[in-house]
Amino acid sequence: MAHSVVIVLGAALTPEGEASPCMHRRVLKGCDLALKEKGADLLMSGGVTRKGIGLSEAEVMAEIAIKQGFSSQQLFIEGQSQNTLENAAFCKLQIMEKNWDDIWVVSDRYHLLRARLAFHAVGLKAHFIAAGGNNDSYHKQILACVREVPALIWYGFRILNGDPKRLLK
């Protein structure tokens, strides 16, 4: 039987250091998926991205998962990444250490193409799942998609420039 891990990619914290609706949605989807995958582990991925807040995105996400009934033995934290490419690279290190062989990645639909690109660039094969229930306005959803276009181009350049290999050293 495969040893599964569900990776939940971080999202911005509020100015007060709390989970944003986007982060909350991703964590809940990850928790649901971990239960469906017969006790898969959860790997929360996201570093300290808001100045003045001492917690990483991953730590805040882990708190949500614990409130959903997950034990600390099922939860792992990757708390140093600052972007999606680093999420993939730093998660790969834990995946290799823990010997997880069935990998699921949860993020918002608009972000999944970039996540796929990043995880592929570091040599990971994974299943990608969109966190559902997006209640954002159409305006916010369109802006999120538009933001992804330059991000995808930038990631393409970073990957061609060898950034994933440098991150894994």
Task: Work out the average pLDDT over 2-8.
Answer: 90
SS3 state of residue 33: helix
Provide the CATH number for the domain around residue 30.
Answer: 3.40.50.620
In percent, how much of the chain has pLDDT > 70?
A: 93
pLDDT digits 0-9 by tens, 143-164: 777 887 888 788 888 888 888 8
Report if pTM > 0.85. yes
Q: How many domains does the chain have?
A: 1
pLDDT digits 0-9 by tens, 57-104: 999 999 999 999 999 999 999 999 999 999 999 999 999 999 999 999
Which residue segment(s) compose the domain that 76 sits in? 4-167
Each residue of 104-143: b (16+ CB within 10 Å) or e?
A: bbbbbebbbbbbbbbbebbebebebbbbeebeeeeeeeee
8 Å CB contact between 19 and 27: yes
Tokens of 117: 């690109």
Mean of pLDDT over the chain: 89
